Structure 1
Amino acid sequence: MPPRLRLTAIALDCPDPLALAAFYQRATGYALHPDSDAEFAGLTSEDGLGFGFQRVDGHRPPQWPGDGTAPQQAHLDFDVEDLDEAEAMLLELGAAKPEFQPNSARWRVLTDPAGHPFCIIARRPN
């Protein structure tokens, strides 16, 4: 049987790591890594997941929906208790809401300040 993998970190390219880290820190409550700087900033969740943001010159944000010139590449999903409340908070923090929403009753597609698409998903009762 192959070894099991444990995800320990996610990193996003962006033009301003500290600004993007601040957005996600306010949204998630994750702790800012003390060695964060203008080249690479990181957050850490309570369970140890690292969330990093690395500066890339000439960063081109992905497109939602992808059009082939700058495809979505990847996206993050976050469970939330209340879609409308979470959406309002994230928009206030600097997220944007693209016009195309494939299933807004169940999830919402937003983009972070660097243009990365992410979804907030209504948490289903257990």
Structure 2
Amino acid sequence: MRLRAINLDCPDPPALAAFYQKAAGLEPHPESNAEFAGLICADGLVIGFQRVDGHRAPRWPDQTVPQQLHLDFAVDDLDEAEARLLGLGASRPDHQPNERRWRVLTDPAGHPFCIVKG
């Protein structure tokens, strides 16, 4: 058994896939459409984005709508990566547990993700 895909619920799959494509330089899945869009990682893993009507975005760190899952991305320079991602449409929550080692950001659909030094 091997992991094939990680899928995130969202209101607009093509838009969220475009954000992560620009952020991480991943290739789009050839069968992406308005209901499901995917990105292909170097090892064949797919990050998928599926349309969910009435999607409720997680609120970091509040657990009223829990984060459910999050992605971590390794970066060389936290400040540089954060600035680039904010420019692409990410947001930076006020709560940062250890911003010298990692930063919590949210994607345009509200999912928390981390950038980690190293």
**Aligned match for 1:75, one of 55, 70, 78:** 70
Q: Which residue is equivalent to 1:12?
A: 8
The residue number in structure 1 matching 2:117 is: 122
User: Superposition pairs for residues 1-126 of structure 1, below 5 Å?
Assistant: 5-67=1-63, 69-123=64-118
Q: Partners in 2 of 1:32 and 1:92 — Cα distance?
A: 21
Task: State, as a whole percentage, how many aligned pairs show the same letter.
Answer: 70
Q: Deviation of residue 66 (structure 1)?
A: 2.7
Two-structure CA RMSD over aligned residues (Å)? 0.8
Q: Deviations over 1:69-95 (max 9, x none)?
A: 211211111111110010011000000
Question: C-alpha displacement at 1:6, in angstroms?
Answer: 2.4
Q: Could you list the runs of 4 or more consecutive aligned residues of structure 1 that deviate by over 3 angstroms after TM superposition?
A: none
Give 1 or 2 for the bigger CA radius of gyration. Answer: 1
Q: Which runs of 5+ in 2 are unaligned?
A: none
Aligned length: 118
Unaligned runs of 5+ in 1: none
Instruction: List per-residue Cα deviations over 1:2-58 (Å, max 9, x = no partner).
Output: xxx422210000000000000000011111112111100000012111010000000
TM-score (norm 1): 0.91
**Matched residues in 2 for 1:37 and 1:9: separation?**
17
Write the deviation string for residues 86-117 of structure 1: whole angstroms up to 9, x where unpaired: 00110000000000001000000000000000
